[in-house]
Structure 1
Amino acid sequence: MVATAVVATFAVAALASLFMAWAIGAGSSGSTPFAPAVGANAISVMRAGFIVGLLGFLGAVLQGQNVSNAIGTELIVGQTLTATAAVVGLLTAAGLVAIGVFTGYPIATAFTVTGAVVGVGLALGGDPAWAKYQQIVTLWVLVPFVGGGVAYATARTLRSERVKERIAVPILGGIVGALVATIQFALLGDGDGPRSIAQVASDLLALPPVLGVDSGVIVATLLAALLAGGLLYQDMAADEARGQRRFLLALGGLVAFSAGGSQVGLAIGPLVPLLDDVTVPLIALLVGGGLGLLAGSWTGAPRMIKALARDYSSLGPRRSIAALIPSFAIAQAAVALGVPVSFNEIIVSAIVGSGYAAGGAGVSRQKMVYTVLAWIGSLALALGVSYTVFLGVDALF
């Protein structure tokens, strides 16, 4: 009877997690990666939603472990989440995110889920994980300044008459290629954990270390940068507009993949402490969460893609490229650190930064104020509601 009750409760929690994954796919991970590309008329809204769903699923399966573990085990000290706590936290967060989807305002998913999990954890009697909170808040505060600042500087550079786009864009492509070479993948890992393409290539190159540094990794990273930059240079030499458009779509794909790796943890993270009781492997949760993200991207993302692409800033190809490069870099840094991060915050900050490079053209200040208030409010509201609801459920049952 006890085992049956545990499995039944886990099933309810899993359904709540699936709903959360759908809400995230429809809102954060499904809408933000290709919003700049849609705004630049490089891809249609419906096609963007279809592609981002597939790439988000791959990212969830291949990179979702770090953030999932952080959400499930690192936000509360001295107490493990129960199945009931997971259900309350997930339903609270998913409900708030769904409200954001249907009203057209991008609720910061990471704020909402983090607040909900902390709320139920405190209601369980756990203690705050202050060190983890400091790491999370530091990243959240830095995102608008770093993402928006890099996007602004990049857009200003591309708009400068003294800079030739045929040279500048391939250089940016080389930087992105180097970043891709350093991404950690579980499939490439060994007994010591996940590894990057550059690390695997370093083993094949078998170069001696220099001053204690693995020279093979450096060489492999530089080769990836030269390859990406060289291919993009050839493409732009043949047709500059087509080269820019292809680069923009490639960036959107990389951000979509990164979104899956980060956002799936927000959906399935609360279930991680329950895995030992039901003997379900983490990879099964990652696949299930990835499918939920995919479903959300295909059914609910077009509305939010349109909102981000056209309501926040009127972006051309250059400003869109400038917005997506820091978004990709920040997303991968968050995945590597195991820190939950809001893709709405990342993308919106970068969109605004690149928009101000053109004198603030098309940037809606009023909507930005409402969005920031929604982010702060979602964190406080999720924490308070989940804490109160869990205490009520616990008292009744």
Structure 2
Amino acid sequence: MDPGTVVTFAAAGIASLFMAWAIGAGSSGSTPFAPAVGANAISVMRAGFFVGILGLLGATLQGANVTEAVGRDLVVGTTLSPVAAIVALSIAAGLVALGVFAGYPIATAFTVTGAVVGAGLAMGGEPAIPKYYEILTVWTLTPFVGGGVAFGTAKLLRHEAVPELLATSVLAGLVGAILANVEFVLLGPPDVAQSIAGTVAPDPRVRLAVTLLFATVVAGALAADMRSDRARGQRHFLLALGGLVAFSAGGSQVGLALGPLLPLFDTAGVAVPLVALLFGGGLGLLAGSWTAAPRMIKAIAQDYSSLGPRRSIAALIPSFMIAQVAILLGVPISFNEIIVSAVIGAGAAAGTGGVSGSKMGYTVLAWIGSLLGAGVLSFGLYTLLSVGL
């Protein structure tokens, strides 16, 4: 590899690590445990510590789909050049970092998608319209589905006619059924992810039985825990959900940092195991979570809604579900959008969510502005650099 290529890879790698740090500090590092912090189930600093570890694991085990989509599916007819990758990553990371320090949750997926598309179009690529439809559908449905499911779940947990132990155990079983079918890289053949249920029982009919068994075991374990000490069992369930969302955040968000690097390896003909890249990106997420996430955890936990344990559980269940669907589809998605909409839905169920309308208005504008602004800046900067070069 010639010195120029080495320098290019080093610059792109630094930009990617900066992006991973910004994501860990903001989206994936702050949102997963925010409802648990708001419910006083865990401290801000402990939340930042655990979300970093779980994000690293999620990035390594589940990050392949979104990484491939961001790197190869957002623009057709061209491959991102090293300069375009550096431009896209630098602009996206800068905007996300600005949001972290300003205290507003910038939608990372919007920012990275806009930056990659802007750089790709500036290179002469064509829009990947079918992929855009898929992405926009998920983005549009997320606040309605997440907020709606959180609202309904919170209402169920608060309903006087439904025993809390029964409702919480059923919800735990649902989470267990989903977890049994979540795909992990290490469970499948090389470069193929596979679920726990699929590994144990390849036959679809037997797989359903394994899923039901897994759900029953999880529901029974939580029921036994809550019978011993209801408050403690509820807290354990809430923390487990926060951990699952943190894990899912790593699997989804690492692709936003690593995706633009894939074309560089393709162009240079360098073969690097994807799992190794995902692990490196996960370390960047961990660094961001440990160094800067507490600020955003506080912002989301306290500024958007004051939630008790039941409403926090209601917010985290749809967050986990939506995140896993997005990972399966290979769609980059914003965890700020997922969590904020779920927190609002859960808070609205009690009629006293304490949501700041002005704060939400500014946040939505920041989301839209990050998508458009990142695209325009990336397009313009790459065009200027191309003229200079």
TM range (shorter): over 0.9
Residue 339 of structure 1 corresponds to which residue in structure 2?
A: 331
Is contact 2:344-2:353 (8 Å) kept? no
| 1:379 to 2:378 alignment | no
TM alignment of 1:181-192, pairs within 5 A: 181-190=180-189
CA distance in 2, matches of 1:82, 1:362: 47
- % identical equivalent positions: 66
Letter matched to residue 388 of structure 2:
L
Is contact 1:275-1:281 (8 Å) kept? no
Residue 296 of structure 1 corresponds to which residue in structure 2?
A: 288
TM alignment of 1:69-80, pairs within 5 A: 69-80=68-79
CA distance in 2, matches of 1:166, 1:134: 41
The one of 388, 391, 395 equivalent to 2:383 is 391
CA distance in 2, matches of 1:361, 1:141: 23
Runs of 4+ in structure 1 deviating by more than 4 angstroms, as ranges, are: none
Residue 49 of structure 1 corresponds to which residue in structure 2?
A: 48
The one of 246, 256, 263 equivalent to 2:253 is 263
**How far is the alpha carbon of 1:120 from its aligned partner?**
0.2
**How far is the alpha carbon of 1:161 from its aligned partner?**
1.1
Residue 88 of structure 2 corresponds to which residue in structure 1?
A: 89
Deviations 1:219-248 (A, max 9, x none): 010001000000000000011000000000
Is contact 1:272-1:282 (8 Å) kept? no
Is contact 2:346-2:353 (8 Å) kept? no
CA distance in 2, matches of 1:132, 1:270: 16
Residue 230 of structure 1 corresponds to which residue in structure 2?
A: 220
Deviations 1:337-385 (A, max 9, x none): 1000000000000000001001143111111111111000000000000
**How far is the alpha carbon of 1:284 from its aligned partner?**
2.3
Taking structure 2 as the reference length, the TM-score comes to 0.98
The one of 312, 320, 343 equivalent to 1:320 is 312
Is contact 1:199-1:216 (8 Å) kept? no
Residue 206 of structure 1 corresponds to which residue in structure 2?
A: none
Residue 8 of structure 2 corresponds to which residue in structure 1?
A: 9
**How far is the alpha carbon of 1:4 from its aligned partner?**
2.4
Letter matched to residue 41 of structure 1:
N
| 1:40 to 2:32 alignment | no
Deviations 1:302-350 (A, max 9, x none): 0000000000000000000000000000000000110000000000000
Residue 209 of structure 2 corresponds to which residue in structure 1?
A: 219
Residue 244 of structure 2 corresponds to which residue in structure 1?
A: 254
**How far is the alpha carbon of 1:61 from its aligned partner?**
0.5
Unmatched runs of 5 consecutive residues or more in structure 1: 204-208
Is contact 2:41-2:235 (8 Å) kept? yes
**How far is the alpha carbon of 1:163 from its aligned partner?**
1.3
CA distance in 2, matches of 1:192, 1:85: 27
CA distance in 2, matches of 1:314, 1:334: 27
Unmatched runs of 5 consecutive residues or more in structure 2: none
Residue 298 of structure 2 corresponds to which residue in structure 1?
A: 306
Residue 110 of structure 1 corresponds to which residue in structure 2?
A: 109
RMSD value over aligned CA atoms? 1.0
Is contact 2:181-2:196 (8 Å) kept? yes
CA distance in 2, matches of 1:273, 1:239: 53
Give the aligned length: 387
